[in-house]
Protein backbone atom coordinates (compact mmCIF):
# COMPACT_ATOMS: atom_id res chain seq x y z
CA UNK A 1 0.00 0.00 0.00
CA UNK A 2 1.34 3.46 -0.93
CA UNK A 3 1.81 5.67 2.17
CA UNK A 4 -0.40 8.76 2.23
CA UNK A 5 -0.86 11.95 4.19
CA UNK A 6 -4.32 11.57 5.70
CA UNK A 7 -6.44 14.66 6.43
CA UNK A 8 -9.65 13.65 8.20
CA UNK A 9 -13.00 15.22 7.41
CA UNK A 10 -13.54 16.73 10.83
CA UNK A 11 -11.62 15.19 13.72
CA UNK A 12 -10.36 11.65 13.77
CA UNK A 13 -13.04 9.49 15.46
CA UNK A 14 -12.06 8.52 19.00
CA UNK A 15 -13.56 7.15 22.19
CA UNK A 16 -14.85 9.59 24.79
CA UNK A 17 -12.97 9.50 28.09
CA UNK A 18 -14.40 11.18 31.19
CA UNK A 19 -12.03 13.30 33.28
CA UNK A 20 -13.88 14.53 36.32
CA UNK A 21 -16.44 17.15 35.29
CA UNK A 22 -15.39 17.15 31.65
CA UNK A 23 -14.46 14.70 28.89
CA UNK A 24 -12.10 14.43 25.94
CA UNK A 25 -12.50 12.65 22.63
CA UNK A 26 -15.67 11.55 20.90
CA UNK A 27 -17.90 14.52 20.07
CA UNK A 28 -16.33 16.73 22.75
CA UNK A 29 -14.57 19.96 21.69
CA UNK A 30 -10.78 20.10 21.67
CA UNK A 31 -9.88 20.75 25.31
CA UNK A 32 -7.23 23.23 26.46
CA UNK A 33 -5.05 22.36 29.43
CA UNK A 34 -1.97 23.57 31.26
CA UNK A 35 0.35 22.62 34.12
CA UNK A 36 1.09 24.41 37.37
CA UNK A 37 4.53 25.91 37.92
CA UNK A 38 3.98 26.20 41.69
CA UNK A 39 5.50 23.84 44.25
CA UNK A 40 2.95 21.08 44.89
CA UNK A 41 3.52 21.39 48.64
CA UNK A 42 2.47 25.05 48.53
CA UNK A 43 -1.30 24.59 48.62
CA UNK A 44 -2.12 28.30 48.56
CA UNK A 45 0.08 28.99 45.53
CA UNK A 46 -1.31 25.98 43.64
CA UNK A 47 -4.90 27.06 44.30
CA UNK A 48 -4.18 30.65 43.28
CA UNK A 49 -2.49 29.58 40.06
CA UNK A 50 -5.26 27.10 39.24
CA UNK A 51 -7.99 29.70 39.68
CA UNK A 52 -6.10 32.07 37.40
CA UNK A 53 -5.75 29.39 34.73
CA UNK A 54 -9.43 28.49 34.91
CA UNK A 55 -10.41 32.14 34.61
CA UNK A 56 -8.23 32.38 31.48
CA UNK A 57 -10.05 29.41 29.92
CA UNK A 58 -8.01 26.39 30.98
CA UNK A 59 -10.22 23.29 31.10
CA UNK A 60 -7.88 20.72 32.69
CA UNK A 61 -5.05 21.42 35.17
CA UNK A 62 -2.03 19.18 35.69
CA UNK A 63 0.09 19.16 38.87
CA UNK A 64 3.37 17.35 39.36
CA UNK A 65 3.54 14.71 42.10
CA UNK A 66 7.19 13.64 42.27
CA UNK A 67 6.89 11.98 45.71
CA UNK A 68 4.25 10.34 47.88
CA UNK A 69 4.35 13.41 50.12
CA UNK A 70 3.49 15.66 47.17
CA UNK A 71 0.77 13.26 46.08
CA UNK A 72 -0.83 13.37 49.53
CA UNK A 73 -1.02 17.16 49.34
CA UNK A 74 -3.18 16.90 46.24
CA UNK A 75 -6.02 16.17 48.69
CA UNK A 76 -5.54 19.58 50.30
CA UNK A 77 -5.32 21.34 46.93
CA UNK A 78 -8.50 19.68 45.72
CA UNK A 79 -10.37 20.51 48.94
CA UNK A 80 -9.31 24.16 48.76
CA UNK A 81 -10.39 24.42 45.13
CA UNK A 82 -13.77 22.89 45.90
CA UNK A 83 -14.20 25.33 48.78
CA UNK A 84 -13.58 28.11 46.25
CA UNK A 85 -16.27 26.66 43.98
CA UNK A 86 -13.76 25.37 41.41
CA UNK A 87 -14.37 21.90 39.99
CA UNK A 88 -11.77 21.90 37.21
CA UNK A 89 -10.43 18.38 36.58
CA UNK A 90 -7.03 17.77 38.18
CA UNK A 91 -4.32 15.56 36.68
CA UNK A 92 -1.34 14.20 38.62
CA UNK A 93 1.93 14.10 36.68
CA UNK A 94 3.98 11.07 37.72
CA UNK A 95 7.59 10.14 36.97
CA UNK A 96 9.63 7.34 38.55
CA UNK A 97 7.35 6.72 41.58
CA UNK A 98 4.54 4.13 41.26
CA UNK A 99 3.76 4.66 44.95
CA UNK A 100 3.17 8.36 44.28
CA UNK A 101 0.82 7.42 41.44
CA UNK A 102 -1.21 5.16 43.75
CA UNK A 103 -1.55 7.95 46.31
CA UNK A 104 -2.37 10.59 43.67
CA UNK A 105 -5.10 8.42 42.13
CA UNK A 106 -7.05 8.80 45.37
CA UNK A 107 -7.41 12.57 44.86
CA UNK A 108 -7.34 13.44 41.16
CA UNK A 109 -9.40 12.84 38.04
CA UNK A 110 -6.59 11.62 35.84
CA UNK A 111 -3.06 10.30 36.32
CA UNK A 112 -0.36 10.87 33.72
CA UNK A 113 2.37 8.23 33.67
CA UNK A 114 5.49 8.21 31.51
CA UNK A 115 6.13 4.63 30.31
CA UNK A 116 9.81 5.43 29.92
CA UNK A 117 10.39 5.91 33.64
CA UNK A 118 7.36 4.55 35.52
CA UNK A 119 9.04 1.23 36.23
CA UNK A 120 12.47 1.81 34.72
CA UNK A 121 15.55 3.87 35.47
CA UNK A 122 17.35 5.23 32.44
CA UNK A 123 21.06 4.42 32.36
CA UNK A 124 21.74 4.68 28.60
CA UNK A 125 22.90 1.06 28.83
CA UNK A 126 23.50 -0.95 25.68
CA UNK A 127 22.55 -4.61 25.71
CA UNK A 128 20.82 -7.21 23.59
CA UNK A 129 17.53 -8.63 24.88
CA UNK A 130 16.44 -12.10 23.86
CA UNK A 131 12.70 -12.50 23.32
CA UNK A 132 12.47 -14.33 26.65
CA UNK A 133 14.35 -11.57 28.47
CA UNK A 134 12.17 -8.94 26.87
CA UNK A 135 8.99 -10.76 27.91
CA UNK A 136 10.38 -11.05 31.44
CA UNK A 137 10.80 -7.26 31.47
CA UNK A 138 7.18 -6.84 30.35
CA UNK A 139 6.15 -9.14 33.20
CA UNK A 140 8.04 -6.96 35.67
CA UNK A 141 6.27 -3.87 34.32
CA UNK A 142 2.91 -5.66 34.54
CA UNK A 143 3.52 -6.31 38.25
CA UNK A 144 4.41 -2.64 38.89
CA UNK A 145 1.68 -1.12 36.70
CA UNK A 146 -1.36 -3.34 37.33
CA UNK A 147 -2.11 -2.02 40.86
CA UNK A 148 -2.48 1.50 39.46
CA UNK A 149 -4.68 0.27 36.62
CA UNK A 150 -6.98 -1.55 39.06
CA UNK A 151 -7.20 1.47 41.37
CA UNK A 152 -7.99 3.87 38.51
CA UNK A 153 -10.61 1.52 37.10
CA UNK A 154 -12.25 1.11 40.49
CA UNK A 155 -12.36 4.86 41.18
CA UNK A 156 -13.25 5.99 37.65
CA UNK A 157 -9.94 7.83 37.26
CA UNK A 158 -8.63 8.34 33.72
CA UNK A 159 -5.01 7.85 32.70
CA UNK A 160 -2.71 9.41 30.14
CA UNK A 161 0.05 7.19 28.83
CA UNK A 162 2.43 9.97 27.92
CA UNK A 163 5.58 8.98 26.06
CA UNK A 164 8.40 11.52 25.96
CA UNK A 165 11.07 11.25 23.30
CA UNK A 166 13.65 12.22 25.90
CA UNK A 167 12.90 9.45 28.38
CA UNK A 168 12.52 6.21 26.48
CA UNK A 169 13.58 3.24 28.56
CA UNK A 170 16.82 1.40 27.85
CA UNK A 171 14.74 -1.64 26.91
CA UNK A 172 12.88 0.31 24.20
CA UNK A 173 16.02 2.10 23.04
CA UNK A 174 17.87 -1.20 22.56
CA UNK A 175 15.07 -2.84 20.58
CA UNK A 176 13.60 0.05 18.59
CA UNK A 177 16.17 2.82 18.85
CA UNK A 178 15.61 6.49 19.56
CA UNK A 179 12.73 6.60 17.06
CA UNK A 180 9.04 7.46 16.69
CA UNK A 181 8.40 3.70 16.49
CA UNK A 182 10.09 3.28 19.87
CA UNK A 183 7.88 6.01 21.32
CA UNK A 184 4.74 4.30 20.05
CA UNK A 185 5.77 0.83 21.19
CA UNK A 186 6.62 2.18 24.64
CA UNK A 187 3.04 3.40 25.05
CA UNK A 188 1.44 0.28 23.56
CA UNK A 189 3.26 -1.97 26.04
CA UNK A 190 1.46 -0.19 28.88
CA UNK A 191 -1.84 0.04 27.01
CA UNK A 192 -1.92 -3.72 26.48
CA UNK A 193 -1.51 -4.26 30.22
CA UNK A 194 -4.34 -1.81 30.93
CA UNK A 195 -6.59 -3.59 28.44
CA UNK A 196 -5.85 -6.94 30.11
CA UNK A 197 -7.81 -5.48 33.04
CA UNK A 198 -10.59 -4.22 30.73
CA UNK A 199 -9.57 -0.66 31.53
CA UNK A 200 -10.13 1.79 28.68
CA UNK A 201 -10.14 5.31 30.19
CA UNK A 202 -6.90 6.03 28.35
CA UNK A 203 -5.46 9.06 26.57
CA UNK A 204 -2.17 8.95 24.64
CA UNK A 205 0.57 11.47 23.96
CA UNK A 206 3.88 11.37 22.04
CA UNK A 207 5.82 14.49 23.05
CA UNK A 208 9.18 15.65 21.74
CA UNK A 209 11.05 18.94 21.51
CA UNK A 210 11.78 18.30 17.83
CA UNK A 211 8.58 18.96 15.85
CA UNK A 212 9.56 16.50 13.09
CA UNK A 213 9.91 13.65 15.61
CA UNK A 214 6.74 14.67 17.43
CA UNK A 215 4.65 14.82 14.23
CA UNK A 216 5.93 11.48 12.95
CA UNK A 217 5.34 9.79 16.31
CA UNK A 218 1.73 10.98 16.57
CA UNK A 219 0.97 9.95 12.99
CA UNK A 220 2.44 6.53 13.61
CA UNK A 221 0.52 6.20 16.89
CA UNK A 222 -2.79 7.02 15.23
CA UNK A 223 -2.08 4.62 12.38
CA UNK A 224 -1.26 1.85 14.86
CA UNK A 225 -4.28 2.53 17.11
CA UNK A 226 -6.74 2.76 14.25
CA UNK A 227 -5.13 -0.24 12.54
CA UNK A 228 -5.63 -2.31 15.68
CA UNK A 229 -9.34 -1.54 15.34
CA UNK A 230 -9.38 -3.44 12.04
CA UNK A 231 -11.52 -2.40 9.12
CA UNK A 232 -14.22 -0.16 10.59
CA UNK A 233 -16.71 1.45 8.23
CA UNK A 234 -16.79 5.28 8.33
CA UNK A 235 -19.41 6.47 10.79
CA UNK A 236 -19.72 3.07 12.46
CA UNK A 237 -19.78 3.23 16.28
CA UNK A 238 -16.63 2.42 18.18
CA UNK A 239 -16.78 -0.97 19.87
CA UNK A 240 -16.19 -1.44 23.60
CA UNK A 241 -12.81 -2.93 22.73
CA UNK A 242 -11.85 -0.14 20.33
CA UNK A 243 -8.24 1.08 20.27
CA UNK A 244 -9.28 4.53 19.04
CA UNK A 245 -8.32 6.36 22.22
CA UNK A 246 -8.19 10.17 22.44
CA UNK A 247 -4.95 12.01 21.67
CA UNK A 248 -3.25 14.67 23.80
CA UNK A 249 -0.96 16.91 21.72
CA UNK A 250 2.10 18.81 22.90
CA UNK A 251 5.60 19.89 21.92
CA UNK A 252 7.72 19.57 25.01
CA UNK A 253 10.49 22.07 25.84
CA UNK A 254 9.21 24.49 23.16
CA UNK A 255 10.88 27.49 24.82
CA UNK A 256 9.58 31.03 25.20
CA UNK A 257 8.51 34.13 23.26
CA UNK A 258 7.88 33.93 19.50
CA UNK A 259 10.15 30.90 19.06
CA UNK A 260 8.16 28.85 21.57
CA UNK A 261 4.87 29.79 19.94
CA UNK A 262 6.14 28.94 16.47
CA UNK A 263 7.56 25.56 17.51
CA UNK A 264 4.29 24.71 19.30
CA UNK A 265 2.24 25.70 16.26
CA UNK A 266 4.37 23.59 13.91
CA UNK A 267 3.85 20.47 16.01
CA UNK A 268 0.38 20.95 17.48
CA UNK A 269 -1.23 23.07 14.77
CA UNK A 270 -0.20 20.85 11.87
CA UNK A 271 -1.64 17.74 13.53
CA UNK A 272 -4.85 19.48 14.58
CA UNK A 273 -5.42 20.60 10.99
CA UNK A 274 -5.03 17.00 9.86
CA UNK A 275 -7.83 16.12 12.29
CA UNK A 276 -5.58 14.56 14.94
CA UNK A 277 -5.89 15.69 18.55
CA UNK A 278 -8.56 15.88 21.25
CA UNK A 279 -6.81 17.97 23.91
CA UNK A 280 -3.69 20.15 23.80
CA UNK A 281 -1.14 21.73 26.09
CA UNK A 282 1.23 24.44 24.84
CA UNK A 283 4.47 24.21 26.88
CA UNK A 284 6.15 27.62 27.20
CA UNK A 285 9.01 28.70 29.43
CA UNK A 286 6.74 31.42 30.80
CA UNK A 287 4.06 31.75 33.47
CA UNK A 288 1.51 29.05 32.69
CA UNK A 289 -1.31 31.52 32.14
CA UNK A 290 0.41 32.71 28.93
CA UNK A 291 -0.03 29.23 27.42
CA UNK A 292 -3.82 29.49 27.35
CA UNK A 293 -4.37 32.14 24.62
CA UNK A 294 -1.86 30.35 22.37
CA UNK A 295 -3.67 27.04 22.83
CA UNK A 296 -7.06 28.68 22.28
CA UNK A 297 -5.85 30.31 19.06
CA UNK A 298 -4.52 26.98 17.76
CA UNK A 299 -7.84 25.30 18.54
CA UNK A 300 -9.76 28.09 16.77
CA UNK A 301 -7.50 27.78 13.72
CA UNK A 302 -8.03 24.01 13.58
CA UNK A 303 -11.78 24.20 14.13
CA UNK A 304 -12.07 26.67 11.25
CA UNK A 305 -10.22 24.25 8.97
CA UNK A 306 -12.11 21.20 10.17
CA UNK A 307 -15.46 22.94 9.65
CA UNK A 308 -14.57 23.75 6.02
CA UNK A 309 -13.40 20.24 5.04
CA UNK A 310 -16.27 18.11 3.79
CA UNK A 311 -14.32 15.06 2.61
CA UNK A 312 -11.22 13.22 3.80
CA UNK A 313 -8.17 14.19 1.74
CA UNK A 314 -5.40 11.69 1.05
CA UNK A 315 -2.25 12.61 -0.88
CA UNK A 316 0.72 10.35 -1.65
CA UNK A 317 3.77 10.66 0.57
CA UNK A 318 5.40 9.03 3.58
CA UNK A 319 3.95 10.60 6.76
CA UNK A 320 6.15 8.54 9.09
CA UNK A 321 9.67 9.59 8.13
CA UNK A 322 11.41 12.75 6.98
CA UNK A 323 13.30 13.27 3.76
CA UNK A 324 13.46 16.49 1.82
CA UNK A 325 11.70 16.37 -1.54
CA UNK A 326 14.31 16.18 -4.28
CA UNK A 327 14.39 18.99 -6.83
CA UNK A 328 16.84 20.54 -9.23
CA UNK A 329 18.80 23.64 -8.32
CA UNK A 330 17.70 26.68 -10.33
CA UNK A 331 18.24 30.43 -10.18
CA UNK A 332 15.40 32.53 -8.80
CA UNK A 333 16.18 36.19 -9.42
CA UNK A 334 19.88 35.34 -9.18
CA UNK A 335 19.56 33.25 -5.99
CA UNK A 336 20.10 29.45 -6.11
CA UNK A 337 16.93 27.63 -5.06
CA UNK A 338 16.20 23.91 -4.81
CA UNK A 339 18.44 20.88 -4.77
CA UNK A 340 20.64 20.89 -1.68
CA UNK A 341 20.43 24.66 -1.24
CA UNK A 342 19.11 26.31 1.91
CA UNK A 343 15.35 26.90 2.00
CA UNK A 344 15.11 30.48 0.79
CA UNK A 345 12.95 33.41 1.91
CA UNK A 346 11.12 35.39 -0.77
CA UNK A 347 9.04 38.57 -0.67
CA UNK A 348 6.71 40.38 -3.02
CA UNK A 349 7.90 43.56 -4.72
CA UNK A 350 5.63 45.63 -2.52
CA UNK A 351 7.28 44.25 0.63
CA UNK A 352 10.80 44.71 -0.74
CA UNK A 353 10.16 48.33 -1.63
CA UNK A 354 9.02 49.02 1.93
CA UNK A 355 12.20 47.45 3.32
CA UNK A 356 14.84 48.46 0.80
CA UNK A 357 15.93 51.58 2.68
CA UNK A 358 16.61 49.69 5.93
CA UNK A 359 18.05 46.34 4.87
CA UNK A 360 21.29 46.99 6.77
CA UNK A 361 19.34 47.16 10.01
CA UNK A 362 17.49 43.87 9.49
CA UNK A 363 20.49 41.71 10.41
CA UNK A 364 19.88 38.07 9.46
CA UNK A 365 16.28 38.72 8.42
CA UNK A 366 17.03 39.55 4.79
CA UNK A 367 14.74 39.16 1.77
CA UNK A 368 16.62 36.81 -0.55
CA UNK A 369 14.65 37.25 -3.76
CA UNK A 370 11.64 39.12 -5.14
CA UNK A 371 8.84 36.91 -6.46
CA UNK A 372 8.10 39.11 -9.44
CA UNK A 373 11.71 38.67 -10.60
CA UNK A 374 11.84 34.89 -10.10
CA UNK A 375 9.77 33.63 -13.08
CA UNK A 376 7.39 32.05 -10.56
CA UNK A 377 4.84 29.62 -11.97
CA UNK A 378 1.49 29.48 -10.13
CA UNK A 379 -0.78 26.51 -10.76
CA UNK A 380 -3.82 24.88 -9.19
CA UNK A 381 -2.76 21.30 -8.31
CA UNK A 382 -6.34 20.12 -8.92
CA UNK A 383 -6.11 21.35 -12.52
CA UNK A 384 -4.64 18.31 -14.28
CA UNK A 385 -3.99 20.20 -17.52
CA UNK A 386 -2.04 22.91 -15.68
CA UNK A 387 0.06 20.30 -13.87
CA UNK A 388 0.70 18.45 -17.14
CA UNK A 389 1.80 21.68 -18.82
CA UNK A 390 4.23 22.40 -15.99
CA UNK A 391 5.65 18.89 -16.16
CA UNK A 392 6.17 19.25 -19.90
CA UNK A 393 8.33 22.38 -19.56
CA UNK A 394 11.87 21.81 -20.86
CA UNK A 395 13.52 23.55 -17.88
CA UNK A 396 12.62 23.41 -14.17
CA UNK A 397 10.79 26.40 -12.70
CA UNK A 398 9.98 27.64 -9.20
CA UNK A 399 6.34 26.62 -8.69
CA UNK A 400 3.69 27.52 -6.13
CA UNK A 401 -0.04 26.99 -5.59
CA UNK A 402 -2.24 29.50 -7.39
CA UNK A 403 -4.46 31.84 -5.39
CA UNK A 404 -7.52 30.39 -7.12
CA UNK A 405 -7.04 26.95 -5.52
CA UNK A 406 -9.94 26.12 -3.20
CA UNK A 407 -8.08 23.56 -1.07
CA UNK A 408 -6.63 24.44 2.33
CA UNK A 409 -2.94 25.35 2.33
CA UNK A 410 -1.49 22.06 3.62
CA UNK A 411 -3.43 19.62 1.38
CA UNK A 412 -2.95 22.00 -1.58
CA UNK A 413 0.84 21.91 -1.33
CA UNK A 414 0.91 18.18 -0.57
CA UNK A 415 -1.13 17.58 -3.72
CA UNK A 416 1.16 19.87 -5.71
CA UNK A 417 4.25 18.02 -4.46
CA UNK A 418 2.73 14.64 -5.34
CA UNK A 419 1.72 15.62 -8.90
CA UNK A 420 4.49 18.02 -9.90
CA UNK A 421 7.60 16.70 -11.61
CA UNK A 422 10.20 16.41 -8.86
CA UNK A 423 12.71 18.58 -10.72
CA UNK A 424 10.62 21.71 -10.07
CA UNK A 425 11.37 23.47 -6.73
CA UNK A 426 8.35 24.58 -4.70
CA UNK A 427 7.64 27.92 -3.00
CA UNK A 428 5.45 27.54 0.12
CA UNK A 429 2.95 30.19 1.23
CA UNK A 430 1.39 30.66 4.65
CA UNK A 431 -1.90 31.76 3.03
CA UNK A 432 -2.78 31.35 -0.63
CA UNK A 433 -4.20 34.83 -1.23
CA UNK A 434 -2.03 37.91 -0.77
CA UNK A 435 -4.95 40.38 -0.66
CA UNK A 436 -6.47 39.12 2.59
CA UNK A 437 -7.02 41.81 5.25
CA UNK A 438 -4.53 42.11 8.08
CA UNK A 439 -5.41 40.14 11.22
CA UNK A 440 -4.24 39.99 14.81
CA UNK A 441 -0.59 39.02 15.11
CA UNK A 442 -0.94 35.85 17.25
CA UNK A 443 -3.44 34.00 15.01
CA UNK A 444 -1.50 35.13 11.93
CA UNK A 445 1.77 33.91 13.42
CA UNK A 446 0.30 30.55 14.42
CA UNK A 447 -1.34 30.03 11.02
CA UNK A 448 1.94 30.74 9.23
CA UNK A 449 3.86 28.36 11.49
CA UNK A 450 1.21 25.63 11.28
CA UNK A 451 0.97 25.77 7.48
CA UNK A 452 4.57 26.32 6.40
CA UNK A 453 6.07 24.40 9.33
CA UNK A 454 3.91 21.33 8.71
CA UNK A 455 4.95 21.22 5.06
CA UNK A 456 8.63 21.71 5.85
CA UNK A 457 8.40 18.81 8.31
CA UNK A 458 6.87 16.77 5.47
CA UNK A 459 10.03 17.52 3.45
CA UNK A 460 8.18 19.84 1.05
CA UNK A 461 9.46 23.31 0.19
CA UNK A 462 12.53 24.99 -1.29
CA UNK A 463 11.50 28.58 -0.53
CA UNK A 464 8.90 30.26 1.67
CA UNK A 465 6.72 33.36 1.53
CA UNK A 466 4.92 34.78 4.57
CA UNK A 467 2.21 37.11 3.28
CA UNK A 468 -0.52 36.83 5.90
CA UNK A 469 1.51 39.13 8.16
CA UNK A 470 1.36 42.57 6.54
CA UNK A 471 4.14 44.26 8.53
CA UNK A 472 7.17 43.77 6.22
CA UNK A 473 9.83 43.38 8.90
CA UNK A 474 7.68 41.07 11.00
CA UNK A 475 6.84 38.87 8.01
CA UNK A 476 10.55 38.32 7.34
CA UNK A 477 11.30 37.57 10.97
CA UNK A 478 8.43 35.08 11.14
CA UNK A 479 9.62 33.34 7.97
CA UNK A 480 13.15 32.85 9.27
CA UNK A 481 11.96 31.76 12.72
CA UNK A 482 9.71 29.13 11.14
CA UNK A 483 12.68 27.74 9.21
CA UNK A 484 14.70 27.58 12.44
CA UNK A 485 11.91 25.95 14.48
CA UNK A 486 11.29 23.35 11.77
CA UNK A 487 15.01 22.51 11.83
CA UNK A 488 15.59 23.16 8.12
CA UNK A 489 17.72 26.31 8.35
CA UNK A 490 19.63 27.19 11.51
CA UNK A 491 20.64 30.86 11.44
CA UNK A 492 20.84 31.64 15.17
CA UNK A 493 21.44 29.96 18.50
CA UNK A 494 18.89 27.21 19.10
CA UNK A 495 17.42 26.68 22.57
CA UNK A 496 15.51 23.76 24.04
CA UNK A 497 13.90 25.09 27.22
CA UNK A 498 11.34 23.22 29.29
CA UNK A 499 8.32 24.87 30.90
CA UNK A 500 8.54 25.29 34.63
CA UNK A 501 6.67 22.97 37.01
CA UNK A 502 6.80 21.89 40.63
CA UNK A 503 9.84 19.68 39.89
CA UNK A 504 11.93 22.58 38.62
CA UNK A 505 15.07 23.18 40.67
CA UNK A 506 15.77 26.78 39.59
CA UNK A 507 13.92 29.77 38.11
CA UNK A 508 13.64 28.71 34.49
CA UNK A 509 12.50 32.04 33.10
CA UNK A 510 15.29 34.05 34.74
CA UNK A 511 17.93 31.43 33.95
CA UNK A 512 16.84 31.10 30.30
CA UNK A 513 17.02 34.89 29.93
CA UNK A 514 20.54 34.97 31.44
CA UNK A 515 21.80 32.16 29.21
CA UNK A 516 20.28 33.78 26.12
CA UNK A 517 21.86 37.14 26.98
CA UNK A 518 25.30 35.50 27.03
CA UNK A 519 24.95 33.09 24.08
CA UNK A 520 22.49 34.58 21.60
CA UNK A 521 25.32 35.30 19.13
CA UNK A 522 26.43 31.64 18.86
CA UNK A 523 24.83 30.79 15.52
CA UNK A 524 24.39 27.07 14.98
CA UNK A 525 24.92 26.11 18.64
CA UNK A 526 22.03 24.28 20.36
CA UNK A 527 21.67 24.72 24.14
CA UNK A 528 19.19 22.84 26.34
CA UNK A 529 17.94 24.40 29.59
CA UNK A 530 16.16 21.80 31.69
CA UNK A 531 14.70 22.29 35.14
CA UNK A 532 15.20 18.72 36.31
CA UNK A 533 16.42 15.31 35.15
CA UNK A 534 13.00 13.83 34.25
CA UNK A 535 13.44 14.48 30.52
CA UNK A 536 16.74 16.33 30.58
CA UNK A 537 19.38 13.84 29.41
CA UNK A 538 17.18 12.33 26.71
CA UNK A 539 15.20 15.31 25.43
CA UNK A 540 18.40 17.29 24.95
CA UNK A 541 20.28 14.41 23.29
CA UNK A 542 20.64 16.37 20.05
CA UNK A 543 21.69 19.57 21.86
CA UNK A 544 25.34 20.56 21.89
CA UNK A 545 25.30 21.62 25.54
CA UNK A 546 22.91 21.12 28.45
CA UNK A 547 22.17 23.05 31.64
CA UNK A 548 20.16 20.76 33.94
CA UNK A 549 18.89 21.11 37.49
CA UNK A 550 20.52 18.32 39.50
CA UNK A 551 19.54 19.30 43.04
CA UNK A 552 18.16 22.41 44.78
CA UNK A 553 20.59 25.21 43.97
CA UNK A 554 22.86 22.87 42.00
CA UNK A 555 23.31 22.47 38.26
CA UNK A 556 24.80 19.72 36.10
CA UNK A 557 26.32 20.58 32.72
CA UNK A 558 26.24 18.26 29.71
CA UNK A 559 27.96 17.90 26.38
CA UNK A 560 25.33 16.20 24.26
CA UNK A 561 23.71 13.67 26.58
CA UNK A 562 26.89 13.13 28.60
CA UNK A 563 27.11 14.84 32.00
CA UNK A 564 30.56 16.38 32.42
CA UNK A 565 30.27 18.78 35.39
CA UNK A 566 28.21 18.15 38.51
CA UNK A 567 26.67 20.06 41.42
CA UNK A 568 27.76 23.50 40.27
CA UNK A 569 26.32 26.28 42.45
CA UNK A 570 23.54 27.99 40.54
CA UNK A 571 25.20 31.42 40.92
CA UNK A 572 28.23 30.14 38.98
CA UNK A 573 26.52 27.84 36.50
CA UNK A 574 25.99 30.21 33.57
CA UNK A 575 29.66 31.25 33.62
CA UNK A 576 30.70 27.61 33.84
CA UNK A 577 28.44 26.82 30.87
CA UNK A 578 30.25 29.48 28.84
CA UNK A 579 33.59 27.99 29.94
CA UNK A 580 32.38 24.57 28.76
CA UNK A 581 31.38 25.95 25.35
CA UNK A 582 34.84 27.53 25.07
CA UNK A 583 36.56 24.28 26.08
CA UNK A 584 34.76 22.50 23.24
CA UNK A 585 35.76 25.07 20.64
CA UNK A 586 32.24 26.37 19.98
CA UNK A 587 32.63 29.86 21.46
CA UNK A 588 33.32 33.05 19.55
CA UNK A 589 33.04 36.63 20.70
CA UNK A 590 30.09 38.78 19.56
CA UNK A 591 30.85 41.03 16.59
CA UNK A 592 32.25 44.34 17.79
CA UNK A 593 33.12 43.08 21.28
CA UNK A 594 36.51 42.90 22.92
CA UNK A 595 37.50 39.43 24.16
CA UNK A 596 37.80 39.21 27.94
Per-residue confidence (pLDDT) for residue 226, from 0 to 100: 85
pLDDT for 470: 93
409, 445, 480, 441: which is closest to 261 by C-alpha? 445
Q: What is the pLDDT of residue 596?
A: 44
b/e map 195-234, b = 16+ CB within 10 Å:
eeeebbbbbbbbbbbbbbbbbbbbbbbbeebbeeeeeeee
Name the β-bridge partners of 496.
528
| Structure confidence at residue 413 (pLDDT) | 95
Q: Chain centroid to CA 169: how far?
A: 20
Alpha carbons within 13 angstroms on the beta-carbon side of residue 116 total 29
What are the per-10-residue average pLDDT scores of the chain (596 residues)?
64 94 96 95 98 98 96 98 98 93 98 90 72 91 97 98 88 89 95 96 94 94 86 67 94 80 95 95 91 97 78 72 92 96 96 92 91 96 97 97 94 94 98 89 96 96 96 95 93 75 70 88 85 60 81 86 86 91 88 53
HSE toward the beta carbon, residue 105, CA cutoff 13 A: 25
Q: What's the pLDDT score for residue 399? A: 98
Phi, psi values for residue 19, rounded to 5°: -135, 95
Compute the half-sphere exposure of residue 285: CA atoms within 13 Å on the CB side of its CA: 28
Question: What's the confidence (pLDDT) of residue 520?
Answer: 87
Domains of the chain: 4-10+17-232+239-253+262-316 (3.20.20.20), 330-485 (3.20.20.20), 494-583 (3.30.413.10)
**Dihedral of alpha carbons 137, 143, 146, 151, sign:** negative
pLDDT value of position 1: 43
- Beginning with the edge strand found earlier in the chain, give each strand of the sheet holding 427-429 in spatial order: 369-370, 344-347, 463-465, 427-429
How far apart, in whole angstroms, are the C-alpha atoms of residue 425 and residue 192? 45
**DSSP E strand boundaries for 28-104:** 31-35, 60-64, 90-94
pLDDT at 544: 87
- Angstrom CA distances, 491 to 363, 457, 494, 545, stand at 11, 17, 9, 17
Taking alpha carbons only, the member of 448, 428, 432 closest to residue 440 is 448
Task: Provide the pLDDT for residue 230.
Answer: 67
pLDDT given at position 594: 46
Rg of the chain's alpha carbons, rounded to an integer? 24
Amino acid sequence: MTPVYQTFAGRRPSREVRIGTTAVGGSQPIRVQSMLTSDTMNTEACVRETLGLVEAGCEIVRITAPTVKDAKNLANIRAALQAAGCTVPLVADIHFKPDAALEAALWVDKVRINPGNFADSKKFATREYTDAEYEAEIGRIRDRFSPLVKLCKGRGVAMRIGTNHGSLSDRIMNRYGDTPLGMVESALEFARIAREHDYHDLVFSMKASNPKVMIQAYRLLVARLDGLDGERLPGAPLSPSSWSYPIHLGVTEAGDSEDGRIKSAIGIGSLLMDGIGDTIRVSLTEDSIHEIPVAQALVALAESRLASTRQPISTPGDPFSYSRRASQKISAAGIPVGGDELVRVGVRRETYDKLSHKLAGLGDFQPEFVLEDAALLEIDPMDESAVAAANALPEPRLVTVAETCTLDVIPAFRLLASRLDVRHPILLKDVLRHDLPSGDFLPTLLAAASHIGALLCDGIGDAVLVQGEKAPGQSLRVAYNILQAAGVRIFKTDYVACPSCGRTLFNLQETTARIKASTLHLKGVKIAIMGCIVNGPGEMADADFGYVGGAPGKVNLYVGKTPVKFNIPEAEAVDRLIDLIKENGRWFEPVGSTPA
